Structure 1
Amino acid sequence: MTDVRTARTARPGTAHRLAALAEDVLGTALPVRLRAWDGSEAGPADGPVVVVRSRRALRRLLWEPGELGLAQAYVTGELDVEGDLAHALRTLWAAARERGPHAPRPGLADRTRAAAEALRLGAVGPRPAPPAARARLRGGLRGRARDRAAISHHHDLSDDFYRLLLGEPMAWSCGYWADEEADRTPAEAQYAKLELVCRKLAVVPGARLLDIGCGWGSLTLYAAERHKAQVTAVTLAHEQAAFVRREVRERGLEHRVEVVCQDYRDIDGGAYDAVAAIEMGEHVGDAEYPAFAAALRRLVRPRGRVLVQQMSRGRNAPGGGPFIEAYIAPDMHMRPLGETVTLLEGGGLEVRSVESLREHYVRTVAAWHRTLEDRWADVVRLVGEETARVWRLCLAGGALAFEEGRMGVDQILCVRPTSLGDSGMPGSPEGWYAGPARP
């Protein structure tokens, strides 16, 4: 069998020793070029260049093998990538696919050799402290205090940061590019998504809309201004609630919009004409989702509509993964689309339409990533270097996950039928896709 691993030199530098160590653990040739802290290099000459700036990066991997250790080393700057981060991630994922899902795992002998080599390299030592940007949640999973802390970590970073990153209309969710309008700006794509949601929900003047997980109010404000709806906006994030209330006052929408800072489990009343949950269901949790689906049905009137826009994972894909769940969206849970549809139906809703927006999210995240890079100095000023690197890694990796089908996002339109099965739905959805891209 031909040995395709990186060639060893007579007097190997640190990079060659690191490459040999990585290849012994991975069981395959290294797909990237390594540059170590002593200036030595190893690996394919045409591969993306990964710079290991200090022994601490290796120590992190000893304590936290895999994605999370690599991500922490990148976030702290102990490990870096020259040039296009997305290209490096694409190369690494391609190598992982070539190994296949049943590639052999390192055995005890492999781990022992790795530890001995790390010791010789001077990388053995106490566990490094995690980056400050890592979420630190307390309490039982899905407890209300923990859920509030998770949402606050995700959304309360800085209104100015999100305004810079997301642009108008501050929607932290997938935009919508129609085929005939491929040159839409990111803002126009977001307004097109909001219009599509309103049309699918049949939002008309005076309609009562419940916006669960309202974010910075993009749907709430659009439905109230454009469609003259009566909107109740619900969020767990105090900073977001304050932001939406300011926008409501500035736009003179107090008579149409109520902003409530509470858990969806505490929403009273019901008989809403329409209910929207835009990329909020990922934060509900697996065990709690049946109760969430039942709550959606309870809150909407018979013949009323519910739209859930939610991220999903491929059947054999990890979804968000440990980095996203530790640094961006703690306690997030994704499942394959079919399982979510089954849960919504189990809650008493009739699923009428499912539309994948996966390719739209590739464009959405790519636009956010361009803004991040173009405004890098401003981002660092607002949130600091470590957090800026967290978001660079998140956006580069997220766009790739959607591109390769490891993650998806879907609009699931449901209705609560009457006791006699009357849905009140039209025979065809022709009117959903017309209309303006922005107010």
Structure 2
Amino acid sequence: MKKKYFGTDGIRNRVGKGMIRPDQILKLGWATGKVIKKHGEKSVLIGKDTRISGYMFESALEAGFISAGIDVYLVGPMPTPAIAYLTQTFHCDAGIVISASHNPHYDNGIKFFSAKGLKISDEIELEVESAFEGEIETVSSELLGKARRIDDAAGRYIEFCKSTYHAQRKLDGFKIVLDCANGATYHVAPSVFQELGAEVIEMGVSPNGLNINLGCGATDLAALQQKVLSSSADLGIAYDGDGDRVMMVSGSGRILDGDALLYLLAVYAKKPVRGVVGTLMTNMGLENALKEKNIDFVRTQVGDRYVMEALMARDWQLGAESSGHVLSLDKTTTGDGIIASLQVMAIIVNQSKTLDELIAPMQVYPQVLINVHVKDKSGFERNQALRAAVEQVEAEMLGKGRVLLRASGTESLIRVMIEGEDAKLIQNLAERLAKLVETEFS
């Protein structure tokens, strides 16, 4: 059965303009509550990021769960990975995050975690969707759920993050620029690094409900780069709006994305790493660098859910997306920007090297990505002209590059990506393929 409402990362859509209404959110809370109650569960924990619509979502979900007889724990603005952790801490049966992650403020969405801090199963999602199609039936008054606000949630999560940092010394002497994207990490990340001894220069810590991810954070690093250089900081760290992504900037201004951070975590791990997981978009330079270290590498579809599935199937610990979702399953159950950056800081301390020195052995291949707008994506995978063209391009690259064509799952786009050693060559080849896509699908 195909899911109608859930994507690979929960439910997400634009708020207003008739796309998401408060009554739908209330009904979703009721439907989810009805399903988890059927499985003998009775409590949920709800957190959110800083976008203005979160207040509306939170109240509607709270009412929906209570009407189904489910107790609700409210923690306010907290990073997505914090909800995965706190759901376990408070022994709740499910965790809910109200967030659209790296999207603009006018988007919002809902992510679901199980009692173990993992994303809920497809089976539960389908049960919720089935219940959503029915009519709301409120339980009798004596069976209504109760709501409780948790005041010390941030402090608990700060202590948990700090507990994952293991190095020869604390961070005394380090000057770090932190960009919290005016999002959910704004009141958490600075405290974590300050309490570990670092001098912290704060950016993106003044959320107003509308400025989340706006010209800041992991999706826009220009201001962070400038601040690192102008303040002579050792490095910069940027999170996205809900704190599950991280990007870093070295003292020289070099950007380290999820690929680079995964390289550091794998190569400088205290215990030998058998293998790591990336995605179809992972740079070929990482794959080659890991091969030199005899570390296995596996690619999945784009999406941290697929990375997680591949890690669990192989009993591996480390995986990442280029966008900055970094999974360290020996530390936590989901992608956590703060914890991932703390692991990198521990490597810097233990190796007594800068980020630039640590990343130097990894050669990043030039990469060109062209998004081609099309009217109809159907038949893309069966198109013989494209297959032949890709084979021709790969032959011209003489085995020193990689070609990826894929249709967007959410937009009328076909993405053309080529990476290789010769930047000029791959630019020309990518443009050639993009023109063919336009011809075939216009």
TM-score (norm 1): 0.30
Q: Answer 1 or 2: higher relative contact order, Cα 8 Å, separation at least 6.
A: 1
Higher helix residue share: 1
TM-score (norm 2): 0.30
